[in-house]
Each structure stands twice: as structure tokens, then as C-alpha cells.
Amino acid sequence: MDIIFWNGKIVTMDPALPVVQAAAVKNGVILALGRDEEVLALAGPDTRRADLGGRLMLPGFCDSHMHLLSYGYGLEKVALGGAAGIPELVELGQRALARHPERPWLQGRGWNEERWADRTMPTRRDLDRISTEVPVSFTRWCSHMTVVNSKALERMGVDRDTPDPEGGRIQRDAAGRPTGLLVDAAQELVYRAIPPLTGEDIRRMLIRGGEDALRCGITSVHSDDLEAVTEREHGLVLDAYRELALDGRLPLRVYEQCRLPRIELLRSFLDQGHTMGEGAGRFRIGPLKLLCDGGLSDRTALLTRPYADRPDTCGTAVYTQEALNELVETAHAAGMASALHSIGDGSMDMCLEAIERAMERFPRPDMRHSIIHCQITRPDQLRRLRDRKIVAHIQPVFIDYDHTFVRDRVGEERERTSYNWRTMADLGVHYACGSDCPVEPFGVMRGIYCAVTRRGTAGGPPGGWLPEQALTVRQAVYGATLGGAYAAHEDHIRGSLEVGKLADMAVLERDIFTIPPDEIKDVRVDMTVLDGRIVWQRPGCSL
């Protein structure tokens, strides 16, 4: 036996053996679970004994939708989340450029005009105050918008005659000149102009991002990484993952949600022999990822009826129904599921139709298609998720901010049937929880807190937002463990602590099942275990 964890409260997420005191591990696999005395009796002379000191141990956490490369890349960009308005945004850029005058292109991310007093969108004129010689591009927190300066527009070759790309928009002023704001697929124009990343860059960013995730008890992620680079760099990303996995340097398990937004890209990917499930070590190819609408805060999520606070728009559909059907069917016929970004109920209808059509035309068992976000929904749509066994990838941490504006956007009637996680759980919908990092930080405790209290981290609203939709702690933990494993077709080897499964574990400083729910967000991870090895331990924590 390599290591025995004992003297703990080990919540296994296995109904047959819900709570034990000790777990024995050999060669990265759980070999025994039970009471301290019976498991410790299996120890040999070289067995390490890790005293949990009464702490709570859970299966290692899975973030079921995030952007690991974007997160790692973002650590090397200007952090704009603290800007309280355009003057601060400009100042942050000026300071960063003064520190790094050698940068050929200044990048930043995280601004959010909704948190500013005047809510004014930045333009190229604002970023020109940072530099007129160095291209500057700042991405909004939601990743659906990027603003650039005049030099960047020049490098991109974008002017008043440049047409809007399919699925995107170049915002223009009254005279038809680009303002510098690029929406959704139009951001690809920026990515194509930015100096490309090297394989070394990508490996560095993935390692750094993975190591940060381990500190949160996260041992596996479903990551959308191809969106962080241009098409010319897709192969570099996949090669970087394979190299890290084969060399044993990939810090955690990665299930890649493959962003291939055009049919020719998807067909090329399939023609190269890529299949869902292929991989080595800790890296595996996952489903086709498609962005089917925008976001709620900027009113680009596609609704079936107009926005309550902007009756002139229903949002944006990235695809026609025919184009979406073709993408989903092509992938499905090749044995590749789809993971479709959908925030509005109009987009949900399109995604459900595309998946149902593919399943009917090309019957395949247990594909585990999924829809990411599932925010503005109707009861009939949730029943269709259940009936078709479609996984809902939800982000409870979004409540922290979204509860402040959902009613304004969609009205009270549609608000009541939205972010309906308890209804999903009660219906029997398969669900998995994530953060959408770097849109939100990937700290799991904050997500569980939001799921259980239906409140933001500042405490509001009193009594919780739509409190009847709160998950229990166990349901929230399921979404952060076994739910993500199920979505990756790996619930037979991870996601719960059972004999024969991988020894991926997270140890918390406090018992989130017994403390007041308001305190869950502040609970720290004391230890992360991956493949039976302690890969991270909180400084100052003795175990």
C-alpha cells in the first residue's frame, strides 16, 4: 500500500458507502475504504500514513466548463477587472506599457462597463490614449467583446468597408467608421493579427493555469482552449497537451471541448483522424464546442421574445438553424458529441433541435451531448434535456453578479423559470458545475456557496434569489465531482471515491455539510491529491 488517508470524514459520493474514515491507495487507485482500524491494518512497512485530523475529504473537484489556456494566457495580460471606468482602464494600460515598452501588442482582459457608474463602452479613441504606436486590445470579462485602438485596427486591416464576419459584428459610429468594439466572431480579426503563440508559450500557460487549479482542489477540467488562439495555432495547442501528458508534466486531467465553429474546420479535424476520447495520460479529446449565442449582460443572448429593457432586440444567433444542424450532425455521425454554449431560451430551442435531429438521423447510444450555461430556460426545455439525456453544464457562481440584472433583462415571468438548478436536479437532468474561468475565478467553494444560498458573495439578495431553486450541499458537490466525470464518460473511473477508481481527492479545512451555508465560500482547500499523490498542500497546514 502506498498511502493511507485516515482519521477523516471521507464523503465518497457513492450511495452504497456514503461516509468512511479511511482510504488506502496503491498505484494511484483506491484499494480499500472503511473504518480506520480495518484500513490501517493493510499498511506495510513503507506505507505512508496521512492523518486527516478529522477534516473533510471529497472526490477531487471537476470544473466542467472553463478555459485553461485563456486563464494561463490572461495571467500574462493586463488585469482590468479593477477598473471603475474608462479613465482607470486607460491608466492601467499606460502603466503596463510603461513597464513593458518592448511588447509588440498590449493585451488585457476583464473590463465590465456594467459595473461602472456611467456604463459607457470604451472605444478606440479611449485606447489611443494608451498608445498610437503599439496595438492595444482589451477583452471584456465575458469574452464576447474586445475593444482595440486605432493602431490595432490598422494592423488588422479593418476599416469602414470591412464587412461583419459571420456570427460577429464590427461596431460602427454614425459615419460608418469602426469604433474599435468587436463582438463575438469579429474578435477573430484581432486574434489573427496578434503575434502567434509558440508551443513553448502554450505549454508554459497550461502548466501555470493547471497548478493554480490544483490549489482549489480541482483535479480535472473540461476546457475550451482552441478559442484562445487562431486556427493556425490549433495544432500547437493539441500538440502541447499531448507533449505535457506524455511527459507527465500536465498538472491535472483535461477533457478538451474542441471549438471548431465552421464546417470546414470540423471536417478537417475529423479527416485528420481525431475522435472523441482519444488522448494520452491526463489529456483527452472531448466534444465539439460551439458558441450559439452571446451573453445576457450585453443583451446578445438569443431570446424567443424581446428583452424587457430593450424591446428592439431578441439578441444574437451565431448560426442559422441549418448551419447548426450540419455541424452537430457531422460531429455526431463521426461519434463526437457536441457541447453547445446557450444562454437564452431562443438559443436553447435551436440547440435542442440540432441535437435531437442528429440523434434521430444517426442513432448512437450514450453520446452525452451537453448544453453549456442553460440560463434563460423554460420548463419544457428542461424536460427535453432530461428525456434526451443531455448534460446541463451550469455555473452557480454566475449568481454572484447575474442576480442583479436578470429581471431587468427578461422580466419577472421569464426570470422565474431561469437558472432553475433545483428543478433540473429534481427532474433527473444530468448536470455538472463549472466556473467558465477566466470569466469567473475557478474557486469551487464560491460556486457551491452560490448554489446552496442563491446569494452573491456580498450577501444579497436577502433570503436568496429564487431560493426555491437552491441546491443542497450534496447536490452541489455532485455537480462539482461526479457530474463532471459523467459528462466526460469517466464516471466509471473517477468522480466518486470507490474501490477501483482513481485516487483523486480534495481535503477541506472545514466540513461544508455541517457549517452555516454562509460560511462555505470562505472554506479553504488544505490538500489536493491526484493519482494518489499529494500534489498540493496549503502552506502552514499540517497533515
Peptide bond into 438 cis (omega under 30): yes
> What is the rounded distance in angstroms from the CA atom of residue 519 to the CA atom of residue 521?
6
**Grid coordinates belonging to 443:** 474557486
Question: Is it the case that residue 524 has pLDDT exceeding 90?
Answer: yes
Average pLDDT for 34-48: 96
Query: What region does 180 belong to: left with phi over 0, alpha with psi -120 to 50, or beta?
Result: left
Confidence tier at 542 by pLDDT (50, 70, 90):
confident
104-129 burial, b if ≥16 CB within 10 A, otherwise e? ebbbbbbbbbeebeeeebbbbebbbb
Q: What pLDDT, in 10s, does the model give residues 59-108? A: 999 999 999 999 999 898 999 999 999 999 999 999 999 998 988 999 99
Domains of the chain and any CATH numbers: 3-60+500-537 (2.30.40.10), 105-193 (3.10.310.70)
Q: What pLDDT, in 10s, does the model give residues 333-346? A: 999 999 999 999 99
pLDDT at 383: 98
What SS3 string covers 166-227?
A: CCEEEEECCCCCEEEEEEEHHHHHHHHHCCCCCHHHHHHHHHHHHHHHHCCCEEEEEECCHH
Q: What pLDDT, in 10s, does the model give residues 389-427? A: 999 999 999 999 999 999 999 999 999 999 999 999 999
pLDDT at 247: 96
Q: Where are the alpha helices (DSSP H) in 428-472?
A: 444-453
Average pLDDT for 502-525: 98
